[in-house]
Structure 1
Amino acid sequence: MTRHGQVIGLAPDKVAEYRRLLAAVWPAVLARIAASNIRNYSIFLKEPENLLFAFFEYHGTDFDADMAAIAADATTREWWALCGPCQRPFETRRPGEWWAEMDEVFHVD
C-alpha cells in the first residue's frame, strides 16, 4: 500500500458548486476508483485560501495502469468535465499532472 497526497486550487466563485458536486459523486465514478485499487480517499477544503487537499491509499500493484484505467473511463471523464472548471491547477505542478502530487514528509500510525 502507498499513500498519496495531492493539492489543487479551487476557484472562489465555484466553491458552492464543487461542494454540491462532491456531495453526490456518481456511483460509476466511485466504482471506477475502487476498481483501480484506491481506498481511504478523502478531499479536504481549506478556506478562505480555497485549496483542495486529497489523500488516498493505493492498494494495487501497477499504479500507472490503474490511473490510466481511470483516465480512460468515459463516465469519469464526464465527471472531470464538471469538476475541472472549478479547479485551479498550480503552475508548478509536474508535467502531466492536474492535481499536484505532494511528497510525504511525515507519517505515524
Structure 2
Amino acid sequence: MRVCFRSSVQPELLVEYRRRHAAVWPEMLSALKDAGWNNYSLFLDDDGLLIGYLECDDFDAARARMALADVNARWQVEMAALFRDSDVQPDEGFRVLDEVFNLEGQLAAATGTGSGAAAVVEH
C-alpha cells in the first residue's frame, strides 16, 4: 500500500522544522520502522505545504502501532507547535490524498503482467 498525505507547517517555523528532521531521534526512527512505515519520506515547500509518502501493509494498522509508542507521543508534543493547526496532534492532522496515477500499475495493466491495482485509503 502506498500512502501520500499532506499537512501544513507554519511558514515562519520552516527552519526549525527542517532542523528537527535533520536528526530525528533514533528511538523514533526505530518505532516508525517497527510499526511498518517503510520508504517513508517528507517533502516540504517554502509555503509550509508538507507532503508525506510511505509504503505499508495497512495504513490504519501502522498508525495504530505508532500511537502505542511512547516515543511517538513525546515527538508529537515536540512537533505540535510547528504546525498550522496546533490544536490537533501532527500525526492526527494528516490529510490522505487519493492516488490517481501510478506508472508501474498502468504499465502492468497495459501489458497484462500484473493486477495494476493501487491501494486506496478511505478517510
TM over 0.5: yes
Aligned match of 1:55: 53
Q: Structure 2: where are the runs of 5+ without partners?
A: 86-90, 105-123
Which residue does the alignment assign to 2:112?
Answer: none
Offset at residue 64 of structure 1 (A): 2.8
Equivalence for 2:26: 27
Name stretches of at least 5 consecutive residues in structure 1 with no aligned partner. 90-95
2:97 is the alignment partner of 1:102? yes
SS at match of 1:106: coil
Name segments (4+ residues, structure 1) moved above 2 Å: 62-66
Letter in 2 for 1:56: L
Quick one: distance in 1 between partners of 2:49 and 2:37?
Answer: 22
**Partner residue of 1:8?**
7
RMSD over aligned CA atoms reads 1.7
TM-score (normalizing by structure 1) = 0.82
> Which digits, 9 at most, give the CA deviation of each residue in 1:17-55, with x for residues without a partner?
1001100101111111111111111000111x2100000
Contact 2:3 2:59 in 1 (8 A): no
d(CA) in 2 for partners of 1:63, 1:4: 7
Q: Which has the larger radius of gyration?
A: 2
Q: Is 1:74 equivalent to 2:70 in the alignment?
A: yes
C-alpha separation between the residues in 2 aligned to 1:65 and 1:41?
A: 15
The structure showing larger relative contact order (alpha-carbon pairs under 8 Å, at least 6 residues apart) is 1
Aligned pairs, how many?
A: 99
Structure richer in strand, relative to its length:
1
